[in-house]
Amino acid sequence: MIAPFDQAATLGVVPVIAIERSSDAVALADALLEGGLPLAEITFRTEAAAEVIAIMAEKRPELLVGAGTILTPDALRAAISAGARFGLAPGFDAEIVAAAKAKDFPFAPGIMTPSDLTAVSRNGLKLAKFFPAKAAGGPSMLEAISAPFAHLGTRFVPTGGVSLDNMHEWLKLGAVAAVGGTWIATKADIGEGRWADITAKARAAVARAKQIREVTR
């Protein structure tokens, strides 16, 4: 079975999703799967997050479902208990990192500075979220702060301000494993049941990532 972060790197894009109703979980999973995107980061920004993850894990096991915005050890435990296959956070918290490692749970903390990256490398982690990607300085900033750590093989998932139109600026960087995409399944899309639109955006994101990778190899 392919590791979740390896799958993310293969696809080149991770849909970052805040979902309000657990009753939408299966329809959302189906929309992503139909679009060729068998991966989802369900953020702990809503009360429904853990239940959504549990439903997806049970009803659509072919979808690699992970948890995002893990800000506390309690959230980490809830994510693992619900069946999340991986986790991410917007920042670095040593307690959460240690707890994830103790559970052998694939986890990518967030970074924005060389100091954050130092903490990541000291903990032996090979993947980090770069957040907020656009506001933090964009691709040139990530390229600059990651350069001294390149020999360690650290890779990144830039999230925040990434779009279909600018994802090429990120994916052309060798250190970028995948981009985080909030545009693929927005709260409005989910709330209004626009499943066909989500499928179309998922398909377009996967195709664009593949195209970019083929050109930059």
Q: Does the annotation count 95 as an active-site position?
A: no
Amino acid at 141: M
Beta-bridge mates of residue 16: 41
- Rounded-to-integer distance, Cα 102 and Cα 199, Å: 36
Is residue 214 among the annotated active site residues?
Answer: no
Q: How far apart are CA 60 and CA 62, in angstroms?
A: 5
Buried b (16+ CB within 10 A) or exposed e, 132-165: bbbebebbebbbebbeebeeeebbbbbbbbbebe
From 129, 134, 169, 201, the catalytic residue: 129
**Short-list 48, 27, 55, CA closest to 195:** 27
Return the structure tokens found at 217. Answer: 């190899």
Q: What residues are labeled active site?
A: 41, 129
